[in-house]
Structure 1
């Protein structure tokens, strides 16, 4: 199996009450980093898992009703923090990115997509359908900003559902199968239902031989996975489905409990953020 170098990048942050992400947390506002991953494949070169925030997010949320997204989850993005602006530190330009793996189409995960015009876009067919559904208010209520999707996304999309399914093996139980994105077993997309339609994670074998499981918003924190504590029903019902979300979180908890060597990596976790200043 091919091994990849993985770098966790912080691309801005948002704030909202902590209790919205974990039902036993308080009402005080908390800051949630928007994390993406730069994945350097030994043959295919640099790829991304999500993009975090980008200046395009602010343009997309200028009009109403899209501005409601910015009001409900205030966003901070410092100069140079967008993923495209961080790439030169690793020796790459946005044009070098060969693929972006889109976990789902919420604005905090795809805001930078248009900065990578040469990239294939691996995504779920069900996720892309959310961008293309009618009704701006309905899309915003689901956390989707259609303006962030590249105009040629239909031509560049490669769907998880169409890739060959491979068995994950006993070390990843209770997860059983993943979609082999490159055909070499190095990047395996795994369906993680509940947060929203078309929500998937990504398994990567790192150059240090450890397995990293990028789980996007299947949990907002590593602590929620360890403790098996979901968000309140209000949050999960607003964006997705409460039952499947809690089943997915419990499956991640069981994976962590039986195989803590797997690096389970949520996209908004402060614990994971400490990795953004070092390379894996």
Structure 2
């Protein structure tokens, strides 16, 4: 695999009772950062893995029933999450962004797409189709906010399902099959079903040679992987498919146990982000 640079950076956060994200968790509210992967390809430019929160999320959740999303999942979107401010704080030149890779279409992963609708969007056809076909109440129940995904995204979309199939290196076992979204073996989309329709992660090798699996919302925390503790059924059934979610968790647990060098990064786990940052020249701020 071609090696790439990776920064794992927070952009906003939400709070939620821990018990809704991991079995046996506390009833107390816990803050979950929304992480963004800033990927620097040696020849193709920069790609973002998801977008985190954006002030656009506040506007999209003002009307009813969309406001229910913000009531049930309170968010923190400070001035530092404003698009130009966030770019400048992390030395990201907007002109260098060659594309966005969307793990799935929940609001905390696509809130910044309005800033990026002019570049290719790599995503799952199944996820975009559900976003466009569902009614407003059904979308809110599933964590989807259609206002955050401009119509231009539909024409810019490059679907994971259409990318060439390839085999993953052994460092990612037991995960085997992926989709080569750039066609050069650098960024490999890996289906991680269960959380919602069209939920995918991304496999890559960093410049330092470390294998990384960006796991999106396949779990909310690294602890869930190492201790094999899924969320309660009420959570997984509300958003997706409990059986498939737990199958994915089993694969993640086996991958973590069998591959000591593999970093599995859930999109909302501050501890995993800190650990990854400590392993080298990575920014998990």
Task: State whether TM-score is above 0.5.
Answer: yes
Aligned-partner Cα distance in 2 for 1:276–1:257: 20
1:279, CA displacement in angstroms? 4.1
Tell me the equivalent position of 2:119. Answer: 119
Q: Gapped runs of 5+ residues in structure 2?
A: none
**Residue 244 of structure 1: SS of its match in structure 2?**
helix
Contact 1:54–1:82 under 8 Å retained in 2: yes
Aligned-partner Cα distance in 2 for 1:198–1:218: 12
Deviations 1:113-143 (A, max 9, x none): 1112432100000000121013100000000
**Residue 4 of structure 1: SS of its match in structure 2?**
strand
Contact 1:7–1:39 under 8 Å retained in 2: yes
Aligned-partner Cα distance in 2 for 1:139–1:243: 22
Aligned-partner Cα distance in 1 for 2:89–2:240: 37
TM-score (norm 2): 0.94
Q: Gapped runs of 5+ residues in structure 1?
A: none
- What value does the CA root-mean-square deviation take over the aligned residues? 1.5
1:70, CA displacement in angstroms? 0.2
Tell me the equivalent position of 2:219. Answer: 219
**What aligned pairs does 1:47-66 form with structure 2 within 5 A after superposition?**
47-66=47-66
Aligned-partner Cα distance in 1 for 2:28–2:68: 20
TM-score (norm 1): 0.96
Contact 2:204–2:213 under 8 Å retained in 1: yes
Contact 1:97–1:118 under 8 Å retained in 2: no
What is the aligned length?
280
**What aligned pairs does 1:192-211 form with structure 2 within 5 A after superposition?**
192-211=192-211
Could you list the structure 1 runs, at least 4 aligned residues long, displaced by more than 6 angstroms after superposition: none
Tell me the equivalent position of 2:94. Answer: 94
Contact 1:52–1:82 under 8 Å retained in 2: no
1:25, CA displacement in angstroms? 0.5
Tell me the equivalent position of 1:42. Answer: 42
